[in-house]
Amino acid sequence: MSPFLWEQHCCLPLLPSARIEELARYPRGSYLSVNIGYSRQSTADSLALARQFRRDALADSRFRLVQGYDDVAADAETIALAFDLEDAGPLGGQLDNVEVFYDLGVRSLLPAYNHANEAACGCLDTEDTGLTAYGRDLVRTLNAVGMFVDGAHCSRRTGLDLASCTEAPMIYSHANFDALWEHPRNITDEQAAACASTGGVIGINGVGIFLGHNGPEERAQRVEAMAAHIEYGVELVGIDHIGIGSDYSFDAADFNHELLNNPEAFSDAYIKWGPLQWVPPEDLLGRSELPGLDELLSRRGFSAADRAAIFGGNFARAAQQVWQD
């Protein structure tokens, strides 16, 4: 079993009722990046969520908060937590807020969640104009503060613009490959290569509609599909540039309700498959009745060192380069 899991993106409900203890389904010693907002959240909303999650984590001995890289693997008996933003909207148009969120533990930010905003285009936009001038200023600010520039949910041109603008490794926190399953949320080979050229990492996700296996009965197929995307990515850009960003949603019921009641944030590419299904934390490192992703990668010929890089080492290396603390 791989000794360390770096989960670059997972989701609790974006509500005051969220329960931090749900994250204890991940194995102790893991690092988790937990979402605190996307295009629907205001600055005040996301700040409140970050402060709430911090308070809750500090009150639960199973968790610890990450400030700098050295905190990530400091204690194998607890789960390390940091946060991410899935849109520039919660910044409220104020680049100074990047540092405010950084001080609260946010370590990655993507410019546009599915649809265009003042920073960039999203993956569901019909016209792809890429990064705006404000978006380019945002990339420079993220580099200066020490926060990951994230291309997930962004348009293809935006992703390429991010790679050309950043002076530090960028990431796709939770993205799969369009070559294996055609979907507007999946990335092209060109995007993947551009990300890798920055020293960045692509986190493979476990969302059924991005894997081509969204049926409730297709749990095993989803894990197999994750393994296939990892293998494809390694062959495409190299072992050093592939990681895990499962996008597991502890708010599955709330999110599926959101799909139906906030259609302007999504599209038929999301809702035509029925309620979304995810690969749960237990299926990553083999803590369920199914063969886990780690075992499936071993069967595909990935060595223990390869799997350690994919499950944690690659994102850890990039964080060491990007984070300022």
SS (H, E, C) 178-200: CCCCCCCCCECHHHHHHHHHCCC
Domain count, the chain: 1
Domain ranges, residue 53: 6-322
The reply to whether 97 falls in a domain is: yes
Q: Name the pairing type of β-strands 242-244 and 201-204.
A: parallel
CB 120 within 8 A of CB 132: yes
pLDDT at 265 > cutoff 80: no
Residue 228 in tokens:
């296939």
The reply to whether 251 falls in a domain is: yes
Q: Which residues pair with 81 in a beta bridge?
A: 32, 65
Residue 120: predicted pLDDT: 98
Pairwise CA distance, residues 155 & 177, whole Å: 14
What phi-psi label fits residue 174: left (phi over 0), alpha (psi between -120 and 50 degrees) or beta? Answer: beta
Average pLDDT of the segment spanning 136-162: 98
The reply to whether 126 falls in a domain is: yes
Percent of the chain with pLDDT over 90: 89
The answer to which of 19-28, 61-70, 86-95, 255-264 has the lowest mean pLDDT is: 255-264
Residue 195: predicted pLDDT: 99
Predicted confidence band of residue 48 (pLDDT cuts 50, 70, 90): very high
The reply to whether 1 falls in a domain is: no
DSSP annotation string for 231-274: HHHHHHH-GGGEEE---EETTHHHHHHHHHH-GGGS-HHHHTT-
The reply to whether 247 falls in a domain is: yes
pLDDT at 289 > cutoff 90: no
pTM, two decimals, is: 0.96
Q: What is the CATH number of the domain that holds 257?
A: 3.20.20.140
Q: What is the pLDDT of residues 201-252, one digit of tens each?
A: 999 999 999 999 999 999 999 999 999 999 999 999 999 999 999 999 998 8
Q: What is the pLDDT of residues 176-196, one digit of tens each?
A: 999 999 999 999 999 999 999
Pairwise CA distance, residues 144 & 270, whole Å: 35
Residue 82: predicted pLDDT: 98
Nearest to 256 by CA among 25, 11, 1: 11
